[in-house]
A and B are shown apart, each in its own frame.
Chain A
């Protein structure tokens, strides 16, 4: 089993603050994905990164894949209540097996 540990596990911040969520592993992955899951729904893909050192931006969200392709970070600028949810990272090498992280539960308080 290839473990992905996410930190922090829980995060509660005020609207307008910035935050960073981390996803770390001792394993190398060909790709790493970030998902957001809202209560009562399944996870929704936000981004896929495949190249070591790659940075992708999605509006106020910035995703980075580590140079060694073992870790990733998600940075949110000026968080809004709509960003509230469970953030999951998932790594894969084969495409048949995606290893999910432990998740970060984010609450943005208006």
Chain B
């Protein structure tokens, strides 16, 4: 089983839709992350969860709502998105947070297009 899986791999949605992205890690890690990767921009950290508690929220608009029901699963709920939210959304996990040398394992990402 691949370490970090994400579904769906591709998603097209209208601005009024509500959808959710799912991430699952099979590595026994305690920390999970959501990143946004847009063309010509650096990877942006959106949210960090440690032991199911949110520890970082980098000024992300409220139309993005994360949920971490347990240490293996992470969701990103989307509603009333804008076309500029179109991007590759990457999930990652690591053993812990708070250690600058932690290894993050990334999933393959969900390619989101907002029409």
A residues contacting B by CB (< 8 A) are 3-4, 29-31, 40-45, 48, 50, 88, 90, 92-103
Q: How many residues of B are in contact with the other chain, CB < 8 A?
A: 28
Known contacts A95-B99, A96-B98, A44 near B106 by CB under 8 Å = yes
Pairwise interchain contact A40-B108, C-beta atoms closer than 8 A: yes
Q: Which residue on B lies nearest to A50, using beta carbons?
A: B101
Query: Would you call B81 an interface residue if the criterion is a C-beta within 8 Å of the partner chain's C-beta atoms?
Result: no
Identify 16 residue pairs between A and B in the complex whose beta-carbon atoms are under 8 Å apart, listed by A's number. Answer: A41-B106, A41-B109, A42-B90, A42-B106, A42-B107, A42-B108, A43-B43, A43-B106, A44-B106, A93-B100, A96-B56, A97-B58, A99-B42, A100-B42, A100-B43, A102-B41
Q: Which residues of the partner chain B approach A98 to less than 8 Å between Cβ atoms? A: 45, 104
Give complex CA distance A97, B107 in Å. 18
Q: In whole angstroms, how far apart are the Cα atoms of A90 and B44 in the complex?
A: 11
Q: B32 in the interface, Cβ–Cβ < 8 Å?
A: no
A88 to B64, CA, bound (A): 25
Tell me which residues across on chain B come within 8 A of A50, comparing CB atoms. 100-101
- Which residues of the partner chain A approach B92 to less than 8 Å between Cβ atoms? 42
B100 engages A92 (CB within 8 Å): yes
Which of B42, B58, B96, B100 is within 8 Å of A30, CB to CB? B100
| Bound-complex Cα distance A44 to B109 (A) | 13
Contacts of B58 in A (CB 8 A): 97
Task: Tell me whether chain A's interface is mostly helix, strand or loop, or mixed.
Answer: loop
- On whether the beta carbons of B108 and A48 are closer than 8 Å, the reply is no
Q: Which residue of chain A is the closest to B111 with respect to CB atoms? A: A40
**Contact at B55–A31, with CB atoms within 8 Å?**
no
Task: Kindly report which residue of chain B lies nearest to residue A41, judged by CB atoms.
Answer: B108
A3 and B41 alpha carbons, distance in the complex (Å): 11
A42 near B56: Cβ-Cβ < 8 Å: no
Q: Which 9 A-B pairs have the closest CB atoms?
A: A42-B106, A100-B43, A31-B100, A92-B100, A30-B100, A95-B99, A95-B98, A100-B42, A95-B100
Contacts of A30 in B (CB 8 A): 100
Cβ of B1 to closest chain A Cβ, rounded Å: 16
> Which B residues between 60 and 115 are near A, CB-CB below 8 angstroms?
90-92, 96-109
